Structure 1
């Protein structure tokens, strides 16, 4: 089955506006009263509704551009946007990563209906300030698109972008593909062309977080998720190509040899990323749709965690399954900020295998600091089930693996400049165990019970009648 045919059967969501309409039609969208403050109040409301409803904020602080938030705050919502059940979420994402569709360039795009060459970011865009100690307004849901100065191949990521002036943005760039492109440009004494794209559909957002080798354009993964090539258009002031149906694009250049203060900023571990001298974008133009929408992701909220977690799960699952055929599923837990704590479900065949899987997981992504390996009877998406496995199948003196002084996340405040310890817990049943030693209790027929078919309505009246009959029967016995 081709990617396109599969997507036709899936019927994925391909525009932000279609997704908002679906959320509204299913009572998962809240439209907030006009005039909410962009400083803290907007984020507070969005976070209070986190995971239950997405939010639309008309005229925030009187600005004509509405703000939207909380668009993909659960695994179920993301699977729904793909058109698949949750059980097929990772496989569908893996398939798209392995079968990208080249984008289709067009010349007349909705995202360029309005063009501002005189730039004043905070006047033209409603950029919120989220957390208490954030250093100012941040673009948090922008796809940062750059192009390899040598090959022209693009990269897509999401970076925190601080508004530092009317036409100036401070940006945190981690040591991955955007940094590699920037160093090529800086070594040549040139700025790196960049576009920040705000307001795309859920699947393009998710594709931006795919973990793929250098010179693999994530917009082509978005096309595969859509089942059709993504329409792109070249920016007005540089050669970067952006999604044609996006809401807003900020065009600019990452300046060579320039660093300015950026931060602090509330990050996904729910702590602040520190202030430091960071790279700087000089903004050359802003383009947008007529009646544009501005998407913001509240730092540390569910939308932030889900967008980072699911692509990492897909990558780690593929990585582990290439070496360990018994690996069935993986899950980056919410309590581990969808980055640091990995649960691996296996069909165990050999003793010692769980330790090898732990080491493979640590090598699969440097963010992973804890791996719990469980048997196939444990629901890894149920935190209570996982803790039950730790409680009943793990002994620290024989089942614990500790790896000191390894590379971890620089945003983990318990690490020391990114140097972290790794911990693995083997919570699998020994193959030599007696059959009944680890046999889970089970009530026959429990799974097939339909409470609606057996429970009577009006419990209060029924209870009163039962108590009355019992009292009468007791009096008769005593007589």
Structure 2
């Protein structure tokens, strides 16, 4: 691919321009909330941000399909899984002309989205770090503390591993924050490949097998060609309070001590579009959940030959609840699918397995399957005190009770398990005409 710019994707799929400048205080949030899931991406101006800011870029599955160049779920999942197994090639090119951004962190497309949040948050930045020969790219929220300082939320995964390695040597971790990229790069950064598998390689695989990158101006970290904003930073040993912040579940994530990020230098690429994402929005849910759907699909597919659909539900933040449609070959297949899903996505809390005649995107049909095809004394799986998600406020120290519901009909089921059929009509959630 020539470059991985967000602008190229928006010009391919189309967008609508917002004809006013938005305040960082809640106005960006209101526009995202009012328009998500409806129509093309938006391009707006935000006060204090030099470049146009894209909103609701991949807030629907259809936009995700376009970002991956596919037509449906199975093709998309296969591309994500294949890129993890066979990453693409990074082609290093000369650094493009970049303009210094004297505003520093205060020039990033950060906003206050919800009442009670700690301040202006950037939730669309990819943090790229390389240390002792291991590179990682992942999405982390930044709380803006001033021109040269921000707080970063790091969960104990791969960036945390690199950070701890540096701190054990008494060093700050050199990293690069990148904003404004093709959504396939964001999807890749939201995956969890094994440590040592570089997520930019996954992005290259998703974008056709290769991706042009250049070295960041100060640290020399790989940056996808086409990035709108690039900031070389140090993740320091200093700790400050970070939060509250409204996360994917639309609940307030608690205040924690988190590392301070110190800015070394910030740059913009003229002519490119930058990007903002609101916590708990459909775009946030899609970017978090879609790669995990691919993991669940692959794990269940290895256990059962016919997996028709996987969905991490929007109401659960695209994270805690899954609905899986299968074609049973043997009794017990429903429970097998439940266990495979829990193994593939450890944060998963509840799983419902249904037959392929049930639309996983229709909560009424899923509830109908539970009402007519599920018996708690034989179809319920409960796993107490298992590792869960820190996003779940009802979990205790990350431990949760997991539940699986096998809402599939018996293989010898008769007409009593069938939904009534009307010729020329397809059941779905009721809509008035």
- Which of residues 170, 176, 185 in structure 2 aligns to 1:204? 185
- Which of residues 25, 31, 44 in structure 2 aligns to 1:57? 44
Q: Is the 8 A contact 2:4 2:225 kept in 1?
A: no
Q: Does 1:150 align with 2:137?
A: no
Q: Does 1:323 align with 2:313?
A: no
CA offsets 1:185-214 (integer angstroms, 9 cap, x no match): 111111111111100011111111122111
Q: Is the 8 A contact 1:13 1:202 kept in 2?
A: no
Q: Is the 8 A contact 1:146 1:193 kept in 2?
A: yes
Q: TM-score, length-normalised on structure 2?
A: 0.92
Q: Is the 8 A contact 2:117 2:244 kept in 1?
A: yes
Q: How many residues align?
A: 424
Deviation at 1:292, TM superposition (A): 4.3
Deviation at 1:305, TM superposition (A): 0.4
Q: 2:332 — aligned with what?
A: 352
Q: Does 1:436 align with 2:415?
A: yes
Query: SS state of the match for residue 329, structure 1?
Result: strand
Q: Is the 8 A contact 1:119 1:285 kept in 2?
A: no
- Which of residues 122, 138, 141 in structure 1 aligns to 2:124? 141
Q: Does 1:47 align with 2:27?
A: no
Query: For 1:252-291, what aligned pairs fall within 5 Å after superposition?
Result: 252-256=233-237, 258-291=238-271
Q: Is the 8 A contact 1:142 1:197 kept in 2?
A: yes
Q: Is the 8 A contact 2:174 2:234 kept in 1?
A: yes
Q: Does 1:81 align with 2:67?
A: yes
Give unpaired runs (5+ residues) of structure 2.
427-433
Query: SS state of the match for residue 323, structure 2?
Result: strand
Q: 2:345 — aligned with what?
A: 365
Query: For 1:17-36, what aligned pairs fall within 5 Å after superposition?
Result: 17-24=7-14, 29-36=15-22
Q: Does 1:194 align with 2:180?
A: no
Taking the aligned partners of 2:395 and 2:241, their CA distance within structure 1 comes to 23
- Which of residues 100, 115, 128 in structure 1 aligns to 2:100? 115
Q: 1:99 — aligned with what?
A: 86
Taking the aligned partners of 2:342 and 2:320, their CA distance within structure 1 comes to 10
Query: SS state of the match for residue 184, structure 1?
Result: helix
RMSD of the TM alignment (CA)? Answer: 2.1
Q: Normalized per residue, which structure has more strand?
A: 2
Q: 1:16 — aligned with what?
A: 6
Query: For 1:384-463, what aligned pairs fall within 5 Å after superposition?
Result: 384-433=364-413, 435-444=414-423, 446=425
Query: SS state of the match for residue 157, structure 1?
Result: strand
Query: SS state of the match for residue 85, structure 1?
Result: coil
Query: SS state of the match for residue 68, structure 1?
Result: strand
Q: TM-score, length-normalised on structure 1?
A: 0.84
Taking the aligned partners of 2:68 and 2:339, their CA distance within structure 1 comes to 32
Query: For 1:120-131, what aligned pairs fall within 5 Å after superposition?
Result: 120-122=104-106, 124-131=107-114
CA offsets 1:49-85 (integer angstroms, 9 cap, x no match): 1111422222x23643322211000001110222221
CA offsets 1:289-341 (integer angstroms, 9 cap, x no match): 12443311011011000011110000111122223334443211122221111
Taking the aligned partners of 2:49 and 2:196, their CA distance within structure 1 comes to 38
Query: SS state of the match for residue 204, structure 2?
Result: helix
Query: For 1:463-478, what aligned pairs fall within 5 Å after superposition?
Result: none
Give unpaired runs (5+ residues) of structure 1.
5-11, 448-479
Q: Is the 8 A contact 1:32 1:57 kept in 2?
A: yes
Deviation at 1:254, TM superposition (A): 0.9
Please identify runs of 4+ aligned residues in structure 1 that moved more than 4 A. Answer: 444-447
